[in-house]
Structure 1
Amino acid sequence: MARPTTQVRRPAEQGSKAQPRSVSVRMYRDILGDCFLLRVPDGDRTRHILIDCGILQGMPGATEQANRIMADIKSVTTVLDVLVVTHEHVDHLSGFEQAKSIFSEVTVSELWLAWTEDPRDEQAMRLRAGREKVKTLLAKSYTAFANYKSFMSHPEYSDDEDPSEADGEPLEPGPLDELSSVLAFAGIGPDGPGVKSASSTAAILERLKLKAERVRYMTPGTKPELGFASGIGVYVLGPPRDEKLLRRSDPRKNHAEVYQLSGDVGEDYLLAASVMLEGEDSSLDADDLQRLQMSLPFGLRAMVPLDNRLAEIGLRTDDAARSTALSSYDDPANDWRKVDIDWLGATEALALKLDSDTNNTSLVLAFELGEGPHGRVLLFPGDAQIGSWLSWHDLTWPPGAQKGDIDSVNVADLLAKTVLYKVGHHASHNATPREFGLELMTHPDLVAMIPVEEAFANNSKHWKMPFRALLDRLVEKTGGRVIRADRAKADIKAYADDTLSIELQLDARQWQSFFDNLDEISDHQGPLALEYRIPYSTS
């Protein structure tokens, strides 16, 4: 099926005064992380909106790159009219710490955060308390994993040899390496799991709150005023208040919700480990006790506890029974029967679940340039995953309006007018829904921006970013206008020519219009950013 041609613009009605304008979106390059600087016209001046600034831990030269990025931001403006922090992950926050000396010279007028960060919101406080408890458990589980002698002495995990190679061949990362990588997302590190350092994501976020002249917490379904730049509206889409959707990161198997379904992530909350690790003062409520008993691999009668920490579920034993159990346990002949650290294998699943849940707390914003049927939307979803995307379709503006009402707006309207999609979560497999997301982006001028560094994501982290099926569909939907943080301007059309069939390719005029609005930004060290201008008009 042939791709639609560029939308025909009707001339402005007689007597109206069309004012051509453009918003520029600068995406910083060669990082696995998000950092976007928006330049917005406001009469005879320009306003600036920064959305996130972070680089994933472990990227070579991350601190140097963060300082280059922040220096460029400062060269453009020393005042951020709005700083948006989508969620508390290191690849969205680290730059404020890595380049803090430069950032200290930049003023932040307003800081926008999701309602999940509001210290006065009871639901947010409860969710945050649960998240902190899981972080503590993960940190202690990591320590137990790392310190266990039989684990550390195993050749596969030993520190006695270079973990990067054995017999000249690269080694796959061990479970401890993978767990450490996942914990980094949760703000546990970089000084080590459990260490609350000045560079933790929570600490960075608190400093940003103190720095900003005003902090605003955004709730889905609202339309906050920018206070500048007439003709631009902002719609808040996420994160959802519905906790079932807030915790839903993976698509359902019986519905084609994304471009490929992910595998299951276990929800073993390590209740037994929690009791053992947190100490004598830990306690379980009735629901936790039931879940713990159901999760035990053997019946209670087969268990001999080494202390009375689990007495609350009926596990008690006398000194004689404990002594007998210990003598059998310490017999080297029984080493093969031990399962001491097997429960720690579930720690990574829990860490991944925490990571996904945090992604779903992303503040999701849709900027509408102009109004009415000719408005153009810039969609910034952070790292929102399936539950958040689904929740948007229950929203209508103004609040209380019904879908179909004159002058009402819903998410399908916004997606249909989207001309710039900041691809969620570095184009991972489960952060861009199919029918509820990308397929509703039908504007013929659609452009996608992907903040990704494929070589690092694939080779160092073993992540499929960008996910191939999603990337292919993005190329089809945009006619090849996919701007990647790890590719130069010249690579865009070449990739489209190699990928798209003839009937889906843009014509020469469409490519020229696109490239006329796309600039490469460099500093004295080389390429630094790609900036795309989105023209619009107001009457």
Structure 2
Amino acid sequence: MSTNKARPKVGAGAKPPALTKSAKGPTHLNLFAYQVGFGDCFLLQFVYGDADSDKRHVLIDFGTTGAPEADSGKLMQRVAEDIREKCRGAQLDAVVATHRHADHISGFATKSNGNGSGDIIRALQPRLVLQPWTEDLALATDATGPLTKNAKATAGSTRAFSALQAMNNVAEQVVKLAAEKPGGLPRGLAERLDFLGRDNTKNLSAVENLAGMGNAGKSSYAYYGMEDPLKDLLPGVKTYVLGPPTVDQSATIKKQRATDNDEFWHFHARGVSTANSIDGNAHGPFDASYVFAKKGKLPREARWAAKHITNARGNQLLGIVTMLDKAMNNTSLILLFEVGGKRLLFPGDAQIENWSYALEQPGIAEMLADVDLYKVGHHGSLNATPKSLWKGFNKRGNSSKKDRMTSVLSTMAGKHGSEEKRTEVPRKTLVDELKHDTHFHSTQELPINGLYTHVRIDF
């Protein structure tokens, strides 16, 4: 069931409403930011009643790519069990998957024996599964927005599934190539390919589990300005969807789609041929079967050229998976919760192209100026916290500032970007400002066995 009824709520020219406290709203929020390595997992526990008699739970993302592969399953299992304990046998009110990157949804994967971390979450029977509109596989590949209430899925659903598979196949072949460490491919480049490739692989079990939970409860595919998708689940809480925009809404996205139609929202036949090309040349352009020199080595005079050609091939593949990575981040949900006179911002991994549309709409900058809690975008990537957004936060300031805002960062250094290029995640300059101007909480600063950092916001 879809809840995609649109109505102009924000950005329609009117000033945002004044913040008011609701008698029926929650008294406070317990935010649990779980340590999942490089990934996101946040449990929002809205507490109602003087004796904490009523609690509503929203899980925003549940994934990791930073933990060692052998330990990631155990870690997510432990996190899932803690989430179950905090729900105390009650249903999850909502599961939000901001976008399809592995570091945001891998924990939703299930196991054949029914003991996976995703099985535990599914057993909590979430009432709603909320995802960006681009995750609806019933969309045609040339879709420019979500399905309307009366629209029916067509043969386009098959094309959409094929496009999704093609994009993921590229990532899987890149992971395979990086694992084989072909000669001439620098170690740092191989590690970068492996990390980005794994983050963009299909996560089929997790995707299917999210779809199944949505079918059992209710599913909603969100986009900028849609009607509050959580209004029936969180009394006294108003949820604004500030991203992603549809292609129809964003002129920037329209332009990028026109010039790069195969790669932006969906990946078409070109992705299949790219994946096949990688798969068919897993050993690089200088396979040993074509080398007749002693012990399978290239002649000395050819080695310089071979090294540089192989390196160039690796950089080309890095460009492909980086493009996929950025496109996926720009489909990320941006949610703003308004409750009890306060505003809480959760932008997933949204980067500047996603943010730009919302920030240009009338009234949005004024609304975001009063943010009290900011979940730092994209694990501390600088281009996920646009400077216009950061400078517009009225409640940032030094420790003496009254009603100083709170920031929460889920990250793991050394997994993304480059210090030499000043693209490391988390970006040091951003973290320094967050520490100076906000009540700063980071999962990276937890003790080794710490499972989560707890932040309380009173309304």
TM-score when normalising by structure 2: 0.69
Distance 1:248 1:57, change over 3 A: farther
Corresponding position: 1:114 with 2:132: yes
In 2, distance between residues paired with 1:365 and 1:181? 27
Residue of structure 1 equivalent to 2:316: 346
Q: 2:39 aligns with which of 33, 37, 41?
A: 33
- 1:430 counterpart SS class: helix
What is the CA deviation profile of residues 340-376 of structure 1, one whole-angstrom value per residue up to 9, with x for unaligned ones? 6444430111101111110111111000013xxxx31
Residue of structure 2 equivalent to 1:75: 85
In 2, distance between residues paired with 1:277 and 1:362? 25
- 1:223 counterpart SS class: coil
- 2:187 counterpart SS class: coil
Letter in 1 for 2:236: G
- Unaligned runs of 5+ residues in structure 2 are 1-19, 110-115, 146-156, 257-266, 278-290, 396-402
What is the CA deviation profile of residues 262-306 of structure 1, one whole-angstrom value per residue up to 9, with x for unaligned ones? xxxxxxx9x999758748xxxxxxxxxxxxxxxxxxxxxxxxxxx
Q: CA deviation at 1:393?
A: 2.2
Residue of structure 2 equivalent to 1:439: 391
- 1:454 counterpart SS class: coil
Residue of structure 2 equivalent to 1:207: 209
Q: CA deviation at 1:477?
A: 2.5
Letter in 2 for 1:534: I
In 1, distance between residues paired with 2:378 and 2:270? 33
Corresponding position: 1:486 with 2:444: yes
In 2, distance between residues paired with 1:50 and 1:142? 29
- 2:426 counterpart SS class: coil
Q: 1:24 aligns with which of 30, 40, 57?
A: 30
What is the CA deviation profile of residues 133-170 of structure 1, one whole-angstrom value per residue up to 9, with x for unaligned ones? 344345456667877xxx83x4x66xxxxxxxxxxxxx
What is the CA deviation profile of residues 384-414 of structure 1, one whole-angstrom value per residue up to 9, with x for unaligned ones? 000111111244xxxxxxx4xxxxxx32132
Corresponding position: 1:62 with 2:32: no
Q: CA deviation at 1:332?
A: 5.3
Residue of structure 2 equivalent to 1:468: 428
Residue of structure 1 equivalent to 2:280: none
CA contact (8 A) 1:247 1:357 kept: no
Corresponding position: 1:232 with 2:237: yes
CA contact (8 A) 1:36 1:51 kept: yes
Q: Which is higher, the Rg of structure 1 or of structure 2?
A: 1
What is the CA deviation profile of residues 182-212 of structure 1, one whole-angstrom value per residue up to 9, with x for unaligned ones? 100101xxxxxxxxxxxx4233122121123
- 2:387 counterpart SS class: coil
- 1:356 counterpart SS class: helix
Alignment of 1:409-424 (within 5 A): 410-424=363-377
CA contact (8 A) 2:329 2:351 kept: yes
Residue of structure 2 equivalent to 1:184: 198
In 2, distance between residues paired with 1:204 and 1:18? 35
Moved more, 339-348 or 134-143: 134-143
Residue of structure 2 equivalent to 1:388: 354
Residue of structure 2 equivalent to 1:220: 224
Letter in 2 for 1:471: V
CA contact (8 A) 2:108 2:121 kept: yes
Corresponding position: 1:99 with 2:92: no
Corresponding position: 1:535 with 2:454: no
CA contact (8 A) 1:248 1:386 kept: no
- Unaligned runs of 5+ residues in structure 1 are 1-11, 158-171, 188-199, 250-268, 280-325, 396-402, 404-409, 490-524
Letter in 2 for 1:450: L
Q: CA deviation at 1:488?
A: 4.5
CA contact (8 A) 2:178 2:193 kept: no
- 2:98 counterpart SS class: coil
What is the CA deviation profile of residues 47-76 of structure 1, one whole-angstrom value per residue up to 9, with x for unaligned ones? 110101111155373222212211110001
Distance 1:247 1:470, change over 3 A: farther
Residue of structure 2 equivalent to 1:136: 169
In 2, distance between residues paired with 1:452 and 1:45? 31
- 1:527 counterpart SS class: coil
Residue of structure 1 equivalent to 2:412: 453
In 1, distance between residues paired with 2:270 and 2:33? 45
CA contact (8 A) 2:239 2:337 kept: yes
In 1, distance between residues paired with 2:321 and 2:339? 39
Residue of structure 1 equivalent to 2:345: 379
Letter in 1 for 2:411: V
- 2:43 counterpart SS class: strand
In 1, distance between residues paired with 2:161 and 2:252? 16
CA contact (8 A) 2:175 2:198 kept: no
In 1, distance between residues paired with 2:39 and 2:319? 23
Distance 1:131 1:477, change over 3 A: farther
Corresponding position: 1:335 with 2:294: no
CA contact (8 A) 1:237 1:364 kept: yes
Q: CA deviation at 1:219?
A: 1.6
CA contact (8 A) 1:42 1:230 kept: no
Q: CA deviation at 1:465?
A: 2.6
- 1:94 counterpart SS class: helix
Q: 1:50 aligns with which of 49, 59, 73?
A: 59
In 2, distance between residues paired with 1:361 and 1:104? 24
- 1:74 counterpart SS class: helix
Residue of structure 2 equivalent to 1:84: 96
What is the CA deviation profile of residues 433-475 of structure 1, one whole-angstrom value per residue up to 9, with x for unaligned ones? 001x11111124310000023366699xx97232111112222
What is the CA deviation profile of residues 24-47 of structure 1, one whole-angstrom value per residue up to 9, with x for unaligned ones? 211113622111111123554211
- 2:445 counterpart SS class: coil
Residue of structure 2 equivalent to 1:5: none
CA contact (8 A) 1:108 1:211 kept: yes
CA contact (8 A) 2:166 2:275 kept: no
TM-score when normalising by structure 1: 0.60
